[in-house]
Amino acid sequence: MRAGDRMRRETACLDPCESLARAAHVVGPDRAGGVPVASEGVLMGVLEARDVARAQPSAVTTLSRTEMAHRLTTIPVHRILPANVTTVGRRTPLTEAIRLMRRRRVSVLPVTRGEELIGVLTDDVLLEMLAEILDGSGDQGARP
Amino acid sequence: MKLKTLLTAPAITIQETAPIHDARALMRRHAVRCLAVLRKGDLVGIITDLHLDAAGPSSVSELRRHDWESALDRVTVAEVMARRPRILTADTPVAEAARLARAEGLEAFPVTDGGVLAGVVTRGDLLAALSNLLGDRRPTALGHILAATSLRSGLDGAIGEAIRLASTLGAALTALHVLRVPGPLADLEGATAQDVKRVERARQAIAREAVAAMCSAGRTHEVSCDVGEGVVATEIARRAAELDSDLIVIGKTTPRGLRMLAGGRTYADQLVRLAPCPVLAIPREPRRREARASR
């Protein structure tokens, strides 16, 4: 099975100019998810929950709640976007994609053809797939 | 398949009154990303590296300026952990755990066996289980091969060799053709930006077709084709790193023209210095020499 078989074609992307507050909202509070950042269809990178968490003011910030909220709306996403992005092709085997996800500690792998973003493979989809395989095999662990 | 099968090590625990620095150190020491938090022996929460990242100093300078970093020593695990985590038992089916993790966006959950904390299962553990089920049918560690193609005569041996290797080893193969920049037409006099773009697009299309034709000539299954642009060796190395290739296959020419004068380094030679993985250079097919011999 290949990355292209399980990727999601419809992908919500963040614009690099959107604010950190918006990014935090998309990524979610306690979620270890990520979201691709693209400008006019060209992939710029992937923002992981980790990057958003690292950008947040610390637990002992001296900023007030309103000040903090205001500042978060003024900082653009591209300021905290990691320079490196791990991508896979449509033909990359899923086992390989999983290995990459675990090694690079990412939850989203953009699937690209050249520079063009054609979909994303997320760990959520893979979890769903795990559940499907286990259900379908009567818990025997079939090899599709 | 029950969660029990995924529990490989006892849970690493920390007291809720411990400073967060200790939590970070403990995670590092045990190479884990989640700790179970205890109060007098009872499980009261979990703390992940994400919680620690959020509590730590900001990566953005204008926010970090307002962080009272010396006070961070006094922040305890209890202040930043996730309270009342969802607890699963060791008999929970893995399929159910995977659905829950997805539906509730859980990164990790504690697992109990007979009322006693038995371990922590993370998303990573579930993904590893999936990987095992899919079966790592690769007989070697070669998961991905990048074949650098050339349209010059005698160099199509490289793609053939790469296809043979990939199908024998069950590796994924990407055939990459790099258009040298600046291209022969990029500095065309009097051309508008639009013209240049059109020419570039045509070149890319031709290169793409040529690569596809080469691949189908090798009548193989799992090849993706790709066209890149840039300084050839640098671009190949960059793509290899991006695709996490385990091997690059490239045809080796005899240097000619300016490159001969510049020390005779071929793309293959340059690539060996830049590549993030081993490089296999396939020599040019000795067509010319044979022709001479038969004469």
Give the one of A58, A123, A126 whose C-beta lies nearest to B57's C-beta: A58
A106 in a structural domain? yes
Confidence at residue B99, expressed as pLDDT on a 0 to 100 scale: 93
Q: How many structural domains are present in chain A?
A: 1
CATH 3.10.580.10 segments of chain B: 3-134
Per-residue confidence band for A140, with pLDDT thresholds at 50, 70 and 90? very low
Helix axes B123-134 and A123-136, enclosed angle (nearest 10): 50
A141 in a structural domain? no
Give the one of B55, B105, B131 whose C-beta lies nearest to A98's C-beta: B131
Q: What is the pLDDT of residues B97-118, one digit of tens each?
A: 999 998 888 888 999 988 889 9
Instruction: Tell me which residues of chain B, numbers 246 to 275, contact chain A at a CB-CB cutoff of 8 Å.
Output: none
A71 in a structural domain? yes
**Measured between beta carbons, which residues in chain B are less than 8 angstroms from residue A32?**
48, 50, 105, 107, 123
Instruction: Determine contact: B229 vs chain A, CB below 8 A.
Output: no
Instruction: Tell me which residues of chain B, numbers 10 to 29, contact chain A at a CB-CB cutoff of 8 Å.
Output: 20
**CATH classification at residue A29:** 3.10.580.10
Instruction: Tell me the average pLDDT of chain A.
Output: 82
The residue range of the domain holding A75 is: 3-136
Q: What is the dihedral of CA A121, A123, A128, A130, to 10 degrees?
A: 110
Measured distance CA(A2)–CA(B218) in Å, rounded: 21
Taking the CA of residue A55 and the nearest CA in chain B, the distance in Å comes to 5
**Measured between beta carbons, which residues in chain A are less than 8 angstroms from residue B135?**
95, 143
A144 in a structural domain? no
Instruction: Tell me which residues of chain B, numbers 94 to 153, contact chain A at a CB-CB cutoff of 8 Å.
Output: 94-96, 98-99, 101-102, 105, 107, 123-124, 126-136, 138, 143-144
Assigned CATH class of B144-294:
alpha beta
Confidence at residue B19, expressed as pLDDT on a 0 to 100 scale: 93
Measured distance CA(A123)–CA(B102) in Å, rounded: 9
Per-residue confidence band for B222, with pLDDT thresholds at 50, 70 and 90? low
Confidence at residue A31, expressed as pLDDT on a 0 to 100 scale: 60
CATH topology for B3-134 is: CBS-domain (3.10.580)
- B129: how many CB neighbours lie within 10 A of its CB? 23
Give the one of A88, A126, A141 whose C-beta lies nearest to B1's C-beta: A141
CATH 3.40.50.620 segments of chain B: 144-294
Confidence at residue A143, expressed as pLDDT on a 0 to 100 scale: 39
Q: Test B95 with A113 for CB contact under 8 angstroms.
A: no
Q: What is the pLDDT of residues B142-156, one digit of tens each?
A: 778 898 877 666 666
Measured distance CA(A68)–CA(B213) in Å, rounded: 57
A143 in a structural domain? no
Confidence at residue B213, expressed as pLDDT on a 0 to 100 scale: 66
Taking the CA of residue A140 and the nearest CA in chain B, the distance in Å comes to 7
Q: What is the pLDDT of residues B38-60, one digit of tens each?
A: 998 889 999 998 899 888 888 88
Confidence at residue B16, expressed as pLDDT on a 0 to 100 scale: 92
Q: Test A128 with B102 for CB contact under 8 angstroms.
A: yes
A142 in a structural domain? no
